[in-house]
Structures are given as C-alpha cells and as structure tokens.
Structure 1
C-alpha cells in the first residue's frame, strides 16, 4: 500500500509540475520560429526520456532494497557506487589510449579492455538503481530533518535519474546580455555541430548563441550527470529538487518572467544544493567534507578603496571573469557591440593562457553562467545586484528552511528588495 501511495504522490506531483511549467513558457515569435528551423531534428525528446525514467524508478521502487539498509550500509552503497563510476571512467580512458596510440595496434589488449569496459558498464547500470534510491532516501531524510516536508513526507519526493544530459542552446541579443531563449538539444553533438548551430543563430537571427553542457535539469525525475564526485552529486540532486519544490510556489512559477526571476530561482536552488550537500557530507561522509574557504571581499568595497592594487598570488578566475563582464556591460551600454565582441574574444584567449579553455565567450555565455550567482564575488554575473540580494536574504535567515520559506513567495526583484528592507 505504501508503494502505491508513493506512486500516486509522484504521479500527481509530475502532473502538477508539467501543468505549472506549461503555463510559464512563452512561445511563438519570428525569432523562435527561426530557432525551431535551425534546431530541427536536434531537440531533446523529454516525453520519451520521462517515460523511460519513470519506468526505471517504478522498477526500483518495487524492490525497495535501500529500505532494508541502515545508515552506515546506505553510505557504503554510495561509496561503492562512486568507485564504480571512477573505475568505468578509467577503463574508458584505457580503451581510448589503446585505440588512439600511434603505431601497430595491440588487438588482444584492445579486445580485453573492451570486454572489461562492457562488464563494468553492465554492472554499473544494475547497481545504479540501488545507488539512486539510496541517495534519494538520504536526501529526503535530511530535508525532513531541517524542516521540509509534511509529516515526514517530502513533497515532491526526491526523484533523480543519472543520464546523458541534453545540451543547452542559450540565445542572447547582441546589444544586451539576456537569456532570450533556451532550447534543450540532443546529447552527443560534437564541437563542429555546436559551432554550426551557433553560427546560424548569429548569421540568420543576429543573436549570440552558445551550446553548453549542463550538470542537471529540474525535470521530473530530475536529470543528473554521472560523476564520481559524491559531494557534487548530492549538491546537484538537491539543487534540482529545489527547482521542483519552488515550482509549487510563486517564485518557481515565475521562473521565465524575466532574467532577474531566473537568477533568483537559480541562485536559490544553488544555495539549497550547496547547503544540503555540505550537511550530507557531515552526516554520512565526513571524509569528504571540504576545507573551509575564506571568502574574498568584493572588489571596489570601501575597505579596499585605499589599498594598492596588487596582482593576486596565482590566477583568480572569478575575479578575472567579473572584470570581463563589467567591461562588456559597459561597452554594450554605450552601443559598442563589435568592440565588446572583440574584447570578449581577446579575453577568451587570455583565459586559455591561464588554463581555462573556454570554447566561446559571448553574450550568451554571460547570460547563462551569470544566472548562477550564489557565491560572493560576482564571477560571470559581474555587478548584477540580484544574486547578492539573494545571498543577503540567506544571511538574514536563521536556517535554510527559513530562507526558502521566505524567498519562495517572491514574485519580482522588487519583492525581494522589499523583503530585505523589512
């Protein structure tokens, strides 16, 4: 009976999520039509993926093996899982090396490596069901313990599936940094295919386009990239669940209303993910708790006004990216589009020289990465005030649950500013 109750809850949650999201997406413009032509045959099929993922979850729920494990055993399941993921990655790298190395191929070694990889892949696929169910259980228990949920039941239930993720096409106007459109594309497009799509967006629509990978997506079940980094996995699962939670509240319903609302949503979900992951590591995986990080003061703050500017010891990516964003915003505000684009290309080369191989740095890059602004310092968000406002509200709140309970009712950036002033 409990299984059927949970299945009913999941079905109702999925239906309501789809209903709310469908009411939030605005379609039908000439630019949108152009994008549909450019991406024809290359968009991601969410319906097919969702049906398959729900089937996988139904199979896992019918077994409920994780329910028979105590806390220590559940943690051991996850440790073994990330070990298997790392092992598979090593076997893939070894096979690639054997196939790619110059000279005569060692066919016997290649055959042995391929067999080992296939066996590892098959075992990992079977083990993944238990691992996903285990992390879902741990995450729900943690969320319930800090205030989320009703009578111990998390709504919507934490449900994720490790999968090959769709790529994200971000489209921005050239004269201002703004995520005008985002379209999910099939996984596996190579660099030349990505470049071809981006070139068409530029030439046919006079827009900046960027095709980028993502780490997770708040569908239901949520999509998560395979990784051997358990802290990152826990962060991503909680981040995407945060989007599912917010979808039932004014903030999430208004995700697509404006770039500001997107930033508030993404920054809130990032805070949820980071804090839940850290608490998860403390409770179940203490060996993975990261060392505390000393936050840098904001550049340009009053305390630093009289200090001489010195080159920091080592390259600071966030600081350099923030400087880039601020300069680009200034150039675009003056109408110097070509100059801004030339500057971004020069800065891209600069980042390459310092070990950050950014494939494309344009308005769409900043529109995408600038919306994730949960860490002080700006980074790709530059001087955007939205992320810091969300961070300030978190500092005002006694707990993560108290913070989410406040911000979930926000309907605009003005609402958030008013909330901060009270």
Structure 2
C-alpha cells in the first residue's frame, strides 16, 4: 500500500505538467498530443496484472537460471542479424528468399517471447541478491518488464544547453513522424530531439529495452530501479520536482542521473561477473572505425566548443558547427541522426558520460573514492538536496 500510494503521488505530480510558461506548453502539447505515450494508462493496465509479480516470483524460485538468460540474449543477437539481412533485401528491391527469412524471424521472436518472463524473474533475483550483499535496501521491490520503451522528446533552449521539457511518446513512430514532430517543435524557437531510450523508471514496473545486450540490460535494470529508490530520498524527490516542472534544477537532475548511473554500473558489474562473466567487455557501444579515433574525447571537445559559441551568442554558428561534427562522426562509424542542443542536454545530465562537461561527474567520483562501501556512497548522495551539499561533502 505504501508503494501504491507513492506511485499514485508520482503520477499525479508527473501529470501536473509545467506551469512556468503556459503558452509554450499549450503549443507544445498541441504538437505532441497525438503521439503521446500515456504513462497513467500503461500503469492502470499493468497494475491489474499485479505490481511486483516478477519480484515475488524470483524470491520464491523460478524454473530458470543463467542458461535461459544467455539463451534469450543469444536470440536477441540472432534476431538483430536477421532483421538487418531482411532490410538489406528489402532495400535492394529483391524478394528472393524474403518469405523464408521472415518466417525464420517469426520463429525466433516466438522463442524469445517464451523466455521473457523467466529472464525477467532470474535477472531480478540476481540483482536483488547483489543489492542485499551490498546492504542496500530493496524498497521499492525491484520489478521490470523487457519491452520496447516509449520514445522520449527532449526540448532545450537554443541559446543554452538545458533540458526544459522531456515528454514520452509512443514506441512505434516512423522516422517521418519523428522528423515532423522535431520540425514543428523547433518552430517554437527551441531545439528538440526524439530519442530511443534503453529504459524508463517513471513507470512501475520499469521499462527496459528488450533488444539490447545482456550487460547493458543488467546495468539498465539496476539504473531504472535506482531512480525509483531515489524518489523516496531527498535527492530523488528534488529530481521529481524538476521533472514535473514544479521546481526546475538542472544540477539536481545531473546529480540524480549521475548517482544512478554510477551505482548501477557497479551493481551491474558484480552481477555480470558473478553469473555471466566471459573474456569480453559486453555492452552496446560502437567501436571506433579507426584505432586512433577517441569518441569520448571528440564529444567533449565538441561540447566545449558549442558552449563557447553559445556564451558569445552565436547560436546559428553553434548549430552549423554541430552539424559538421555530426557528419564527421558518421564518417567515423558513429550513426548519430541529429546533434544539437537537445542531444547534449539529455546526455549531459549523465555527468560521467563523454557528452558532459559538468564538474558534478568528477565530484561524484571523488566522493565515491572516499567512501568505503557502495551503500555508504549511495546513502550520502541520496540525502543531498543541492549541489552545495555535494561540495560540502568533499571539504
């Protein structure tokens, strides 16, 4: 009941929207409304199925283990390869063998779907066990669904990099619809970007993408749960106020995202090493096309250059620069569809990521190095309500 009450409070706040610029919000809403993903509607559908069901299943025991999990993610890779082959044939205009490939794809999808529930329960149990071993509270109960998360529309001002609106859109948007949404939102005088996301902790159970690698999935399950965990602590609650527009604070957003990212990577590493470790790095990141190309360094340099343009008020020059750099990154093998202020606003909230120039990342890493345990670090960070608290913790 305590969790259900908190979830209801969360979505009441979430649906309250932003009151700071009613005219802008009205115009924005008129654009996105036909494409919006209803979090409340999804919750009502899934609450009837029983909140926390997969968590309970993993506690009483499930018929499955690491073998079924590895089989599931092997199917994910086979499906990706087959889909790429089908796209290549379709793009070429030929149809030879297409029917048999589509039938094979359907068979793989059915095998994957049959394993999904077991995989959800097994991973939930493994992550819960690691959380217990670290002494971290397991409230709220860890529960997630492997599914295709909603897309996310991110809106930033053009003259600075800051996420001022984030809106969930439904999953099955075509590229044409995405570009139309972005073009219409940009006409409001802002920078926008529609993204695919790996997970969403604003729902309970949380969404986690069902087409990623095992390592990415483990990290994401932990990260989305941590967002839910933090909502019941000062840092996460302040982030909730930022998300709903009640009290905007980009530094709080950056702190919250950075803590969740750092802790989830540690939890994920323990889970992966304990149950699935092989002589590989895992993950979904694309390798650079050339041995001397450093993507992280390049993105930081781009971000710093963009900030310099914007400080001087050279908005159009900044946008031209980002497009040139996007084309360069594509030539190096990094398929970035759109590089703009909204891109950096979204990715920049992860201060431990290459697209961020925020000092919060280094400050959080310094705090982690001073704490003997992951739990201690999480407890201290979760109790913060502003960046000054972070700075004070390092004095």
Instruction: Assess, with a 3 A threshold, how the Cα gap between structure 1 residues 61 and 363 changes in structure 2: closer, same or farther.
Output: closer
Q: Return the index of the structure with the highest Cα Rg.
A: 1
The answer to whether the 8 Å contact 2:53/2:143 transfers is: no
Question: For residue 367 of structure 2, what is the aligned residue in structure 1?
Answer: 393
Q: Bigger shift: 355-364 or 86-95?
A: 86-95
Deviations 1:5-26 (A, max 9, x none): xxxxxx5424313414644765
Q: Structure 2 CA distance, aligned partners of 1:413 and 1:288?
A: 39
What is the match of residue 77 of structure 2?
Answer: 86
From 150, 171, 174, the counterpart of 1:187: 171
Deviation for aligned residue 1:165 = 1.4
Q: Which residue of 1 aligns with 2:9?
A: 19
Deviations 1:33-72 (A, max 9, x none): 11101112100121232244445566965994884459xx
Residue pairs, 1:232-381, within 5 angstroms: 232-255=216-239, 256=242, 257-287=248-278, 290=281, 314-375=292-353, 379-381=354-356
How far 1:92 sits from its partner (Å)?
Answer: 3.1
Deviations 1:199-247 (A, max 9, x none): 11222x1111111111101021110111351111100000101101100
- The superposition leaves residues 119-138 of structure 1 with CA deviations (integer Å, 9 ceiling, x where unpaired) of 32223212101110111111
- Structure 1 unpaired stretches of 5+: 1-10, 292-311
Deviation, 1:94, is 4.0
CA distance in 1: counterparts of 2:229 and 2:123, whole angstroms: 18
Q: Would the aligned equivalents of 1:169 and 1:212 in 2 still touch at CA under 8 Å?
A: yes
Is the Cα contact below 8 Å between 1:83 and 1:228 reproduced in 2? no
TM-score where L is the length of structure 2: 0.88
Q: State the distance in 2 between where 1:328 and 1:121 align.
A: 43
Number of equivalenced pairs: 377
CA–CA separation in structure 2 for the residues paired with 1:26 and 1:391: 33
| 1:115 maps onto 2:93 in alignment | no
Q: Specify the SS of the correspondent of 2:281.
A: coil
Q: CA contact under 8 A between 1:208 and 1:364: conserved in structure 2?
A: yes
What is aligned with 1:34? 27
Residue in structure 1 matching 2:43, options 37, 50, 54: 50
Q: CA deviation at 1:143?
A: 0.4
Question: Structure 1: how far apart are the matches of 2:312 and 2:146?
Answer: 45
Aligned twin of 1:197: 181
- Asked whether the 8 Å contact 1:251–1:409 carries over to 2, the reply is yes
Question: Where does residue 412 of structure 1 map in the other structure?
Answer: 386
Q: For the Cα contact (< 8 Å) 1:239–1:272, is it kept in 2?
A: yes
Structure 1 length-normalised TM: 0.83
Question: C-alpha offsets along residues 358-394 of structure 1, whole Å, 9 cap, x if unaligned?
Answer: 211111111011111225xxx2112x21222122211
Q: 2 CA distance for matches of 1:99 and 1:326? A: 41
- Give the corresponding residue for 2:143: 159
Cα distance in 2 for partners of 1:83, 1:251 equals 38
Are 1:281 and 1:288, in contact at CA under 8 Å, matched by a contact in 2? no
Hey, what does 1:131 align to over in structure 2?
119
- C-alpha RMSD of matched pairs (Å): 2.5
Output the CA distance in 2 between the equivalents of 1:405 and 1:59: 24
CA distance in structure 1 between the aligned counterparts of 2:371 and 2:293, rounded to whole angstroms: 34
The 1:174–1:190 alpha-carbon spacing in structure 2 relative to 1, beyond 3 Å, is: same
